[in-house]
Amino acid sequence: MTTAAVTIHPATEADHPEIVDILVASYAEYRETFEQNERWEAYLKDIRESVVNPYLTQLWIAKIDDQIVGTVQLFETARKAYPNFELPIDYPFIRLLGVDPKWRGHGIARVLLQQCVDSAKDMGKNTVYLYTGGQMVNAIRLYERFGFTEDKEFSSESGGGKAICYRYDS
């Protein structure tokens, strides 16, 4: 755990460049799992544009002192999180949880996940969902330790990759 206090704040527009930098750095370890460079570049484009997504309900940052060390996005529903897919999940949906690689192992991701669970409760929902890739083993371990369970109904495999849908019931 961290020696300094982690605080969670709603992000401001001024935070966007730093959020993007953290997301790109935190997902860089998965670059080699993308078979085609075009898919990786499209993923990075999605990450960079995510902070101005009109469907984004909440964008949170984690800070230690005055430094942003992590971020997470929360959407009202799966349809808003993934508007190009027909997902009938009418619960809050977490996307793009990222922690600065220098700050991993300090409980920051857990605090951000808890913020999403608390926000979902404020929306009148006791369940939150998220997707992760089968190659993201550290993320899978984090989610399962937090208490997320796979919702096999919404998990899928295509193009050599696995999209795992997790849900958390509080």
**C-alpha of 87 from chain center:** 17
Please tell me the predicted confidence (pLDDT) of residue 2.
45
Q: Given a cut of 60, is residue 87 above it in pLDDT?
A: yes
User: Residues of 22-43 as b/e, b for ≥16 C-beta within 10 angstroms?
Assistant: bbeebbeeeeeebeeeeebeeb
Range 7-35 average pLDDT: 94
Q: Given a cut of 50, is residue 132 above it in pLDDT?
A: yes
Domains of the chain: 6-169 (3.40.630.30)
Q: Tokens at residue 138, please?
A: 């550290």
Using the Cα atoms of residue 81, residue 82, residue 83 and residue 86 in order, give the sign of their dihedral: negative
The type of residue at 70 is G
- Put simply, whether the predicted model's pTM sits higher than 0.95 gets the answer no
